[in-house]
Amino acid sequence: MSFFGLTFGRRAAAQNAPRVAVSRPVAGGWYAREEAIMGTAIRVELWDEDERDAQCAITAVMDEMHRIDHAMSPHKPASELSRINRDAGTEAVPLSAEMFRLLERALEFSRFSDGAFDISFASVGNLYDYRAGTGPSPEALARGRAAIGWQHLALDPVARTLRFGREGMRIDLGGFAKGHAVDNAVAILAELGIRHAIVTAGGDSRVLGDRRGRPWSVAIRDPRREGGVVAVLPLEDTAISTSGDYERYFERDGVRCHHLIDPRTGRSPDAVRSVTILAPDGLTAEGLSKTVFVLGTQRGIELIETLDGVDAVVVDAQGALHYSAGLLSGDSQRIETARQ
């Protein structure tokens, strides 16, 4: 089965490759830059034969990241998302073509996941302050939960508008905005003639081509051990997204309250520690990583295995690793690579 019309070939297995120092050979070189954008670390690494062309390509990517941040940040009062949250409760808000397409995809994810993915989780999500270590009172949580419901996001495809159908509704694109950003970035690089690159936005990455004759090697971090790694995956022309309960959280009464919210409860799921998804594009990978985190190991992997070209690695609440069938199929070399 394909997911929203997307299909994707299986990734070839390869030996893990250690990281190598950036070189500057006469015929070309690797160039990299990192900036803080969208509340996370944005990193671009690419190969080009000309340093000036490489730096121009990297700048184009960073400019696109800033553009998306200005449009989709819930923290910038002038962003399109802030305007939606401010006005859509009282009137139908006109949307840019880009925002309309993203909201269409969000509703597709919601239908597909039976509500496990729901951008209106923000009606509760904005009640948590992870820096201050505070969460909503039971009364505030109940009010916020009453406002959640993707079915009440009235998206008009003719007028290209959105209106909220419940009092107190809010939306947040944190479920896949970074995935969308890395997709756009890779498209820009490809248009500029770049054939080998990786773009990373926090836990979301997309690789373009290979690492000049060998796969890119992307590590999945250990959710409970700083600097630890639970798996290293060899990737080519692939997107990868990891969602974990260690990114933004606080402990309260022995319970870890983290930024991944179950829309059905308004609370943080506790059945898994992290979910990593490999998919054809970053938006799909990030959306599914949030979905599987909410669904849990068994239901989440069952859902992933209905999709062509999508794989998952789940670290459950006890720290055990679980893989979708696609990562476990094939020769033993592939299994060893995935399990390191």
In the 3-class helix/strand/coil scheme, how is 122-179 assigned residue by residue? Answer: HHHHCCCECCCCECCCHHHHHHHHHHCCHHHEEEECCCCEEEECCCCCCCCCCCCHHH
| Domain boundary assignment for the chain | 29-72+175-339, 80-164
Q: Report the topology of domain 80-164.
A: T-fold (1.10.3980)
In angstroms, the CA 114 to CA 262 distance is 12
> What is the pLDDT at residue 175?
83
SS3 content of the chain, % helix, strand, coil (to 5): 35, 25, 40
Taking alpha carbons only, the member of 272, 184, 283 closest to residue 241 is 283
Point out the residues of the chain with pLDDT beneath 50.
Answer: 1-26, 331-340
Please return the burial class of 251, using the count of CB atoms within 10 Å of its CB with bins 0-12, 13-18 and 19+.
exposed
Cβ-contact 262, 243 below 8 angstroms: no
41 has which bridge partners? Answer: 36
In angstroms, the CA 147 to CA 89 distance is 11
Query: Same topology for domains 29-72+175-339 and 80-164, yes or no?
Result: no
In angstroms, the CA 47 to CA 200 distance is 15
Q: What is the pTM of this model?
A: 0.88
> What is the pLDDT at residue 273?
97
In angstroms, the CA 154 to CA 169 distance is 12
Tally of CB atoms within 10 A around 210: 17
> What is the pLDDT at residue 40?
94
Cβ-contact 64, 181 below 8 angstroms: yes
In angstroms, the CA 59 to CA 330 distance is 40
Cβ-contact 204, 218 below 8 angstroms: no
Amino acid letter at 311?
D
> What is the pLDDT at residue 253?
83
In angstroms, the CA 286 to CA 304 distance is 13
Which CATH superfamily groups domain 29-72+175-339?
Answer: ApbE-like domains (3.10.520.10)
CA 78 to chain centre: 24
Residue 33 DSSP symbol: E
